[in-house]
A and B are shown apart, each in its own frame.
Chain A
Amino acid sequence: MTGPRSAEDRIALWLEEESAGFLPDRVLDATFDRTRDTHQRGPSVWRLPSMTRPIPAVIAVGAAAVIVVAAVLFLRPAPRERVGDSPATGGPYTSPLFAYTVDIPAGWEVAPATTPWPAGQRIEADPGSVDTFRIPGSPIDASVAVAAQPAPEGATSTTWLATWEGIREDIGGHCFGSSTGWMTARVAGLPAWHVKWRCDSAPYERSNWDEYTFLAGGMGYVISGNPTMIDRMIESFRVPSAVPSAVPSASPKAIETSSSPSP
C-alpha cells in the first residue's frame, strides 16, 4: 500500500492524521483570563525607529511622546539640569545619568533618562530609563536610545554580552529580515559588540536598526536605534573612567567592525 507514495507524501499524510483535534475551550478561557490581566507592551523605545508603516509609527511616536513628557513632568520631583538637551546648534551632550558624552549635530533632540536603569531589567520596562535622541521631522522617525546599567561584578566584555543577551529581546523578531549576529566592534576605544538588523524588503527599510553594547567603568552600555544616527554618535562617543581595553585602541573615536568571535 505504501509503495507508490513518496516518503514526503507519507510524512505529510501521517502529520495530517496526527493533527486531528481541537483546542479545549477551557484553554482559551484560561488564556483570555490571563490576557485580560496582562498589559500590552507599548512599542519599544529601542525599536521605535523601526516601525514599518506610517499609522503605527504615528501611534508609537505619540505614545512614546506621552510617556516621555509624563515622565519629565511627573516623575521628576524637581527640574534637573539637562546638559546638552536639545542643542539647537549642535554640540556636546553629557548624559546626566549615564555620564557619557557625545557630540550632537544641530537639530537633534534629546530626551534625557529620568530614572536609572536597574541591573537586569529589560529596557522596555521603563522608557524613562533611556536617553532618547531624535531627529524632529524625520520621515522615518529616526531615533536612538542609549542607556547603561551596572554590570555584574567582574564582568568581562564577553560575559557582559551574555548578560545583555539574557535581558534583551531576541534579535529581530518582528520585521522578518536578517540579522548579522553579534560582531566585534570598538566604541570609545573599548571592545564592544555590534549587531545589525536589516529588513528584507524596501517597505520595511525603516525597520533597520543597529545595536552596540559594551562595558565601561563597571557599567554595561547599550546604544540602539537608527543606523545612520548611531554611526554619527559613535564617532564622538566617550565615557569617563573607561575600563582599560584588553586590546589597545588605535583611535578613541574610531569604530571598526569585524566578524571575529570575540572582542
Chain B
Amino acid sequence: MDRSLVEAAQRGDHDAFEALAIGAADRLFAIARLILRDAHLAEDAVQEALVHAWRDLPRLRDPERFDAWLRRLLVNACADQGRHRRRWSAEIQIVRAEPATNDATGSMADRDQLERGFRRLKPEQRAAVVLHFYLGLTLAEVADALGIPEGTAKSRLHYATETLRAALDADARTPAAATNGRPA
C-alpha cells in the first residue's frame, strides 16, 4: 500500500484511488468470494466496498491503516449482501465442474466436508475463518477487521474451527459421507 496514493485519493485524486483499487481488487474479490460462496455476490460486495471507500476516504484518519480499513468495509459489504439477498447459507449452490488437478487439500472428501461445514457457519464466523486462515491475520487483526472485541473474535474463530474440524472428523469416520447428502 502506497501511503502517498492514499493521501492523494483522500484529497479527491480519482486516479490515485483507481490505482489503489486495482491493486486491491483481486485480493478483495477472493475474500468476498470465500465468505459469500458466490462469485456474483462477491463482485457486488467488492464494488460496494470500493464505492464506500472512495466516499469515506477523507475520513480515514491514518492512511497507514488503509488496507485494514478496506478489509473492514469489505466484510461489512459482504454482510450487507447476505442480509439483502438472504442468501447467506446453504441455499447458495456451488457447482464445481471438475476437481482441481492438483488436489492439494488431500482429498475430495476434505473439500466436500469443509464446504459443508463452512456453509453451516454464520457469516461473521466465515469472515473470521477467512481473515485468520486465508489472510493469516492475528486474532487482534481479525477483531480489528470485524470491529469486534478480541475475545469475541476468538470465540467466533474457535466455534468456526471446531465446526470445520467436526466436519473433517465426520468425513474420517464415514468415508461414504463424501458422496452423500451434498446440499441440493
From residue B4, how far is it (CB to closest CB) to chain A in Å? 12
Contact between A8 and B161, CB atoms less than 8 A apart: yes
Count of chain A residues near B, Cβ 8 A:
52
A-B contact pairs, 17 of them (CB 8 A): A1-B107, A2-B106, A7-B165, A10-B105, A13-B104, A14-B111, A17-B111, A22-B26, A23-B26, A27-B43, A31-B46, A31-B50, A35-B54, A35-B55, A172-B147, A174-B65, A176-B68
Within 8 A of B (CB), among A149-174: 170, 172-174
Residues of A within 8 A of B114 (CB): 10-11, 14
Complex: chain A residue closest to B53, CB-CB: A35
Interface residue A24 (Cβ < 8 Å from any Cβ of B): yes
Interface residue B88 (Cβ < 8 Å from any Cβ of A): no
From residue A53, how far is it (CB to closest CB) to chain B in Å? 7
Interface residue B18 (Cβ < 8 Å from any Cβ of A): yes
Contact between B50 and A35, CB atoms less than 8 A apart: yes
Residues of B within 8 A of A41 (CB): 55-56, 58-59
Interface residue B21 (Cβ < 8 Å from any Cβ of A): yes
Contact between A40 and B12, CB atoms less than 8 A apart: yes
Separation of A177 and B125 alpha carbons in the complex (Å): 21
From residue A195, how far is it (CB to closest CB) to chain B in Å? 14
Interface residue B176 (Cβ < 8 Å from any Cβ of A): no
Contact between B56 and A21, CB atoms less than 8 A apart: no
Contact between B54 and A38, CB atoms less than 8 A apart: yes
Contact between B58 and A40, CB atoms less than 8 A apart: yes
> Which A residues are closer than 8 A to B by beta carbons?
1-2, 5, 7-8, 10-24, 27-28, 30-32, 34-36, 38-44, 47, 50-53, 56, 59-60, 170, 172-176, 178, 204, 207
Separation of A21 and B69 alpha carbons in the complex (Å): 23
Set B29, B57, B104, B165: member contacting A23, Cβ < 8 A: B29
Interface residues on B, range: 35 or more
Known contacts A1-B107, A2-B107, A17-B100; A28/B61 CB under 8 A: no
Complex: chain A residue closest to B171, CB-CB: A2
Contact between B161 and A174, CB atoms less than 8 A apart: no
Known contacts A11-B164, A21-B29, A170-B147; A31/B61 CB under 8 A: no
Contact between A32 and B106, CB atoms less than 8 A apart: no
Residues of A within 8 A of B21 (CB): 28, 31-32
Contact between A7 and B168, CB atoms less than 8 A apart: yes
Known contacts A11-B114, A30-B47; A174/B55 CB under 8 A: no
Residues of A within 8 A of B18 (CB): 32
Set A1, A7, A42, A173: member contacting B164, Cβ < 8 A: A7
